[in-house]
Amino acid sequence: MLKHHFHIVTVILFFSSFIATAQQVKEPKDTPVEWSKPYPPFRIAGNLYYIGTDDLACYLIVTPKGNILINTGLAASLPLIKANLKTLGFKFNDIRILLTTQAHYDHMGAMSEIKKATGAKLMVNEKDAAVAADGGSSDYALGGHGPTFEPVKTDRLLHNGDVIKLGDMRLVMLHHPGHTKGSSSFLFDVKDGGRKYKVLIANMPTIVTDKKFSEVHTYPDIARDYAYTISAMKKLTFDIWLASHSSQFGLHSKNKPGSPYNPAAFIDKTGYDKAMNDLEDQLSKKD
Ligand SMILES: [Zn+2]
């Protein structure tokens, strides 16, 4: 009888844990329409391509040893990403490395599914890995309501300055905390014939929380981290500037769907400097 009773408890526990992992992922409602709108994929420079949605930037770096995907958009962005890969003539199953600029649902939505389907290795900033593993539940600003994206395990923890290698590509991960504890930018060279471009995929340090920084008790270093990130980012040098959201670097003014290949359109240090100064200004006004 007792044994029988234990069995029932085990069964109940099994099913409740199954339901907890399988059913509780809830993206916040009413996301901007631009996040889900398709956008024609295009070649940015050399072996670097834009395959995201209208506003959620996803980047593909193509190498003879397989490809690197940076960011996935929402869970529902996956069919758009797949369609974009097909349009460009690349294979979904050639994705070998998965990266993210930040562990929020609008960049991590399809990460778990892509990892499972392709067997790619997920590399995440050590400070964002816990949030990735609990699907955003423990995020200091957006957390507290269960997972907002499918939890996903990190295969390699990245630290500031770590290099991600695939084929002849070398990407440097830059720790730019604040927006999330482990927000990351990526700096790398792409070659285009005789020309080389230094590319920065920047995680712009926008403010997420409505709380005063001094009241964010689960992230006591938040003000210091944002200040560090702004000062570190203002010192960066690069040719091409991209970001986590296309609106942040003005994609729509730089690329019209169907426009010819033009890496020079993304050379915009002036726009970057202005964006950094605006963010610095917003941070200076934050309590
Ligand atoms: Zn975010």
pLDDT in tens, 141-198: 999 999 999 999 999 999 999 999 999 999 999 999 999 999 999 999 999 989 999 9
- Cα separation of 208 and 203, whole Å? 13
Q: H-type helices in 119-263, by residue range?
A: 129-133, 222-234, 251-254
pLDDT for the residue numbered 2 = 47
- Amino acid in the structure at residue 259: S
Does residue 143 sit in helix, strand or coil? coil
Q: How far is the CA of 104 from the centre of ligand 1 (A)?
A: 5
Q: How far is the CA of 254 from the centre of ligand 1 (A)?
A: 23
pLDDT in tens, 72-129: 999 999 999 999 999 999 999 999 999 999 999 999 999 999 999 999 999 999 999 9
Q: How far is the CA of 256 from the centre of ligand 1 (A)?
A: 25
Please report, rounded to a whole number, the percentage of residues in the chain having pLDDT higher than 70. 92
Question: Nearest Cα to 184, choosing from 239, 122, 138?
Answer: 122
Q: How far is the CA of 78 from the centre of ligand 1 (A)?
A: 18
Q: Name the burial class of residue 252, with classes exposed (0-12), middle (13-18) and buried (19+) by CB atoms within 10 angstroms of its CB.
A: middle
Q: How far is the CA of 102 from the centre of ligand 1 (A)?
A: 6
Q: H-type helices in the chain, by residue range?
A: 2-23, 33-36, 78-88, 105-108, 111-118, 129-133, 222-234, 251-254, 269-284
Q: How far is the CA of 119 from the centre of ligand 1 (A)?
A: 25
Please report, rounded to a whole number, the percentage of residues in the chain having pLDDT higher than 90. 89
Q: How far is the CA of 122 from the centre of ligand 1 (A)?
A: 18
Q: How far is the CA of 183 from the centre of ligand 1 (A)?
A: 9
Q: Name the burial class of residue 18, with classes exposed (0-12), middle (13-18) and buried (19+) by CB atoms within 10 angstroms of its CB.
A: exposed
Q: What is the pTM of this model?
A: 0.92
Q: How far is the CA of 224 from the centre of ligand 1 (A)?
A: 19
Domains of the chain, by residue range, sit at 38-285
pLDDT for the residue numbered 90 = 98
Q: How far is the CA of 203 from the centre of ligand 1 (A)?
A: 9
Q: How far is the CA of 188 from the centre of ligand 1 (A)?
A: 22
End-to-end CA distance of the chain: 61
Q: How far is the CA of 106 from the centre of ligand 1 (A)?
A: 7
Tell me the backbone φ, ψ of residue 108, rounded to 5 degrees. -115, 0
Contact 46, 192 (CB under 8 A): yes
Q: How far is the CA of 286 from the centre of ligand 1 (A)?
A: 18
Q: How far is CA 94 from CA 32, 63, 65, 76, 154, in A?
A: 30, 10, 8, 21, 19
> Is 124 or 7 the better-scoring residue by pLDDT?
124
**What residues contact 64, with CB distance under 8 A and at least 6 apart?**
167, 168
pLDDT for the residue numbered 281 = 98
Q: CATH number of 38-285: 3.40.30.10, 3.50.50.60, 3.60.15.10, 3.30.930.10?
A: 3.60.15.10
Location of structure tokens 């604040």: 178
Q: H-type helices in 89-221, by residue range?
A: 105-108, 111-118, 129-133
The residues placing their C-beta within 5 Å of ligand 1, an ion, are 104
Tokens of 73: 């958009």
pLDDT in tens, 41-52: 999 999 999 999
Q: How far is the CA of 108 from the centre of ligand 1 (A)?
A: 10
* 58 confidence band (pLDDT: 50, 70, 90): very high
Q: How far is the CA of 178 from the centre of ligand 1 (A)?
A: 10
Q: How far is the CA of 105 from the centre of ligand 1 (A)?
A: 8
Strands 195-202 and 240-243: parallel
Q: How far is the CA of 182 from the centre of ligand 1 (A)?
A: 11
Q: How far is the CA of 208 from the centre of ligand 1 (A)?
A: 7
Tokens of 261: 């290949």
Does residue 191 sit in helix, strand or coil? strand
Q: How far is CA 171 from CA 161, 166, 186, in A?
A: 9, 9, 6
Q: How far is the CA of 206 from the centre of ligand 1 (A)?
A: 8
- Cα separation of 34 and 230, whole Å? 27
